[in-house]
Amino acid sequence: MLPKKTHWSGDIVPELHGKEVVVAGWVWELRDLGRVKFIVLRDREGFVQITLKAGRTPERLLATFSELGKEDAIAVRGIVEASKIARRGVEIFPVEIWVLNKARPLPIDIWSETPDLATRLRWRSVDLKRPSNLALFTAASKILREIREVLYGEGFVEVFTPKIIATSTEGGADLFPLMYFERVAYLSQSPQLYKEQLTASLERVFEVGPAFRAERHNTNYHLNEFTSVDAEAAFMDYWDMIQLLERILGRIARLLSREEPRLREVGLAPRLTELGSVPRVDYDEAVDALQRAGYSVRRGDDLTVEMQKALTKYYGPAYFIVHFPALLRPFYTKRKDGERTESYDLVINGIEVASGSTRIHKRDELEEEMKVRGLDPRLFESHLSIFDLGMPPHAGFGLGFNRLLMALLGLENVRQATLYPRDRYRLEP
Ligand code: AMO
């Protein structure tokens, strides 16, 4: 019978002294000092030391030890003992060891060396056993949970919209086509149009799901499939959304300060563990500041990553850029005055992690903006028709979850923050 795991390794503390527990995981390290032998067992939450002693440990377990190899999947039932010399002040004396599956030598080193990223991604499932990855992706799940909790707390409902779609949502050609029976369909770039339509019924919605972009970029911050956290709310504007994002960042900062010790132990350096108010920088002001710093940039130009990094010097590690020129933004963005829009980007450590705006909620204005961008309103009829039926004023944001992790955890490459990245040259594993 499969032994039932009673504790995570991280839960084995000196206070459990004398208790019987069952732990399960993988053999990280084996040390044989003759009369004393150690197994360091790894599971998702860390490590625990299993101590075998001649005279105390049953003979057959000592025999089992001699057959163990690194990364064998094992379960151990044993008695916890507080110890002055053991790792984390505690060890387990086994009464039973189950070898659940043997492991051949791993194709990459997860113990001491960190191979280059391409090699790690080639063997991603193995690479994910690395303690830094375990800490990273458990932190990622907790970060997402904080985001969800803020949104639920503020009356948003979680929704799921189709990822197979008939027309482009953002305009542009960055779509992956696919065969949908007899016709061509596309993978969704963003839930933009659906989430806007849903504000006319559910009012406040959010979605966590994949977004597909057929961009040919091959940079450290572009993926062809990423996880997007999208929010949209009726009767709100871009300032409401900026404040909402700020509250989300505040919650994440508190989480990261709690998680900091574990993250630092595995070499990750969380940023933004303390967060005051996040500056709102007018696009025009940012351009002026960049010009003064010697960048050749003019009003109407998009800001490059290099420029966004440069602005960090003036505004700190996290800032919003607000009021972008209309032509830098998608057709659904509401104008503020003339060329400026009620739009914003959130930049952390020089990387754009979220963007959003107040949306146009009047059909004629929306059609006008489509035409300005060379889009044919007739192709959007099913979307536009909703705007004749009491569309409320609304606003929202799209937050790139992988980029957020990259920025928050100080990673160099967005692929590190993605379990199985899809990029220009990577479709497997
Ligand atoms: P945008 O296209 O700016 O806006 O995307 C929103 C956020 O998604 C992330 N992102 C990416 N992450 C990784 N790889 C990519 N190729 C990639 N492209 C975008 C970024 C970005 O800030 N519908 C709007 C959002 C809205 O207005 O609600 C949209 O999709 O972090």
Domain boundaries, the chain: 9-101, 127-417
Distance (Å) from CA 398 to ligand 1 centroid: 6
- Ligand 1 pocket test: pick from 228, 305, 328 the residue with the most ligand atoms within 8 Å of its Cβ: 228
Is ligand 1 within 6 A of the CB of residue 343? no
Q: How confident is the model at residue 291 (pLDDT cuts 50, 70, 90)?
A: very high
- Ligand 1 pocket test: pick from 349, 403, 411, 426 the residue with the most ligand atoms within 8 Å of its Cβ: 403
pLDDT score recorded for residue 339 = 94
Is ligand 1 within 6 A of the CB of residue 341? no
- Ligand 1 pocket test: pick from 147, 165, 226 the residue with the most ligand atoms within 8 Å of its Cβ: 226
* Residues 189, 172: Cα–Cα separation, whole Å: 10
Per CATH, the homologous superfamily of domain 9-101 is Nucleic acid-binding proteins (2.40.50.140)
pLDDT score recorded for residue 273 = 82
* Residues 409, 136: Cα–Cα separation, whole Å: 8
Q: What is the distance in angstroms between the CA of the first residue and the CA of the last residue of the chain?
A: 33
Q: What mean pLDDT, rounded, does the chain reach? A: 96
The answer to whether 406 touches 139, Cβ cutoff 8 Å, is no
Is ligand 1 within 6 A of the CB of residue 190? yes
* Residues 211, 97: Cα–Cα separation, whole Å: 45
Cα distances (angstroms) measured from residue 107 to each of 71, 99, 189, 253: 12, 21, 35, 37
Percent of the chain scored above 90 by pLDDT? 92
Q: What is the arithmetic mean of pLDDT over 68-83?
A: 98
Sheet of 183-187: strand order equals 164-165, 183-187, 177-180
Is ligand 1 within 6 A of the CB of residue 315? no
| Residue in 1, 386, 42, 60 with CA at minimum distance from that of residue 199 | 386
Q: How confident is the model at residue 72 (pLDDT cuts 50, 70, 90)?
A: very high
pLDDT score recorded for residue 139 = 97
Distance (Å) from CA 321 to ligand 1 centroid: 15
- Containing 384, the helix (H) or strand (E) segment is helix 381-384
* Residues 6, 11: Cα–Cα separation, whole Å: 10
Output the 3-class SS for 275-289: CCCCCEEEHHHHHHH
pLDDT score recorded for residue 2 = 87
* Both structure tokens of 68: 């163990």
pLDDT score recorded for residue 88 = 87
Q: How confident is the model at residue 172 (pLDDT cuts 50, 70, 90)?
A: low
pLDDT at 171 over 80: no
DSSP one-letter string for 304-372: PHHHHHHHHHHH-SEEEEE--BGGGS-TTBPEEETTEESEEEEEETTEEEEEEEEBP--HHHHHHHHHH
* Residues 89, 14: Cα–Cα separation, whole Å: 6
Contacts of 141 (CB under 8 A, 6+ apart): none
Closest residue by Cα to atom 9, ligand 1, is 400
Bond into 325 cis (ω within 30): no
pLDDT score recorded for residue 167 = 77
Closest residue by Cα to atom 5, ligand 1, is 398
* Residues 25, 263: Cα–Cα separation, whole Å: 20
pTM: 0.96
| Residue in 180, 185, 186, 205 with CA at minimum distance from that of residue 194 | 205
Q: How confident is the model at residue 407 (pLDDT cuts 50, 70, 90)?
A: very high
pLDDT at 87 over 70: yes
The answer to whether 398 touches 98, Cβ cutoff 8 Å, is no
Q: What is the arithmetic mean of pLDDT over 247-258?
A: 96
Ligand 1 closest atom vs CA 333: 27
Residue 196's CB is within 10 A of a number of other CB atoms, namely 26
Query: Could you report the per-residue pLDDT of 371-405, keeping only the tens digit for each?
Result: 999 999 998 999 999 999 999 999 999 999 999 99
Is ligand 1 within 6 A of the CB of residue 332? no
Query: Could you report the per-residue pLDDT of 95-151, keeping only the tens digit for each?
Result: 999 999 999 999 999 998 889 999 999 999 999 999 999 999 999 999 999 999 999
| Residue in 232, 239, 238 with CA at minimum distance from that of residue 201 | 232
* Both structure tokens of 60: 């057959």
Distance (Å) from CA 407 to ligand 1 centroid: 14
Distance (Å) from CA 353 to ligand 1 centroid: 7
Q: What is the arithmetic mean of pLDDT over 316-336?
A: 97
Query: Could you report the per-residue pLDDT of 12-39, keeping only the tens digit for each?
Result: 999 999 999 999 999 999 999 999 999 9
pLDDT at 297 over 90: yes
pLDDT at 272 over 90: no
pLDDT score recorded for residue 321 = 98
Distance (Å) from CA 345 to ligand 1 centroid: 10
Burial class of residue 277 (count of CB atoms within 10 Å of its CB; 0-12, 13-18, 19+): exposed
Q: Which CATH number fits domain 127-417: 3.60.21.10, 3.10.450.50, 3.30.930.10, 3.40.50.800?
A: 3.30.930.10
The answer to whether 186 touches 209, Cβ cutoff 8 Å, is no
Local structure of 425: helix, strand or coil: coil
Is ligand 1 within 6 A of the CB of residue 24? no
Percent of the chain scored above 70 by pLDDT? 99
pLDDT score recorded for residue 168 = 67
Is ligand 1 within 6 A of the CB of residue 311? no
The answer to whether 387 touches 363, Cβ cutoff 8 Å, is yes
Domains 9-101 and 127-417 share a fold: no
Ligand 1 closest atom vs CA 191: 23
Contacts of 79 (CB under 8 A, 6+ apart): 18, 19, 20, 21, 92, 93, 95
Closest residue by Cα to atom 22, ligand 1, is 354
Closest residue by Cα to atom 18, ligand 1, is 222
Contacts of 60 (CB under 8 A, 6+ apart): none
For residues 129, 135, 140, 143, the Cα torsion angle rounded to the nearest 10 degrees is 160
Answer left, alpha or beta for residue 414, where phi above 0 means left and psi between -120 and 50 means alpha.
Answer: alpha
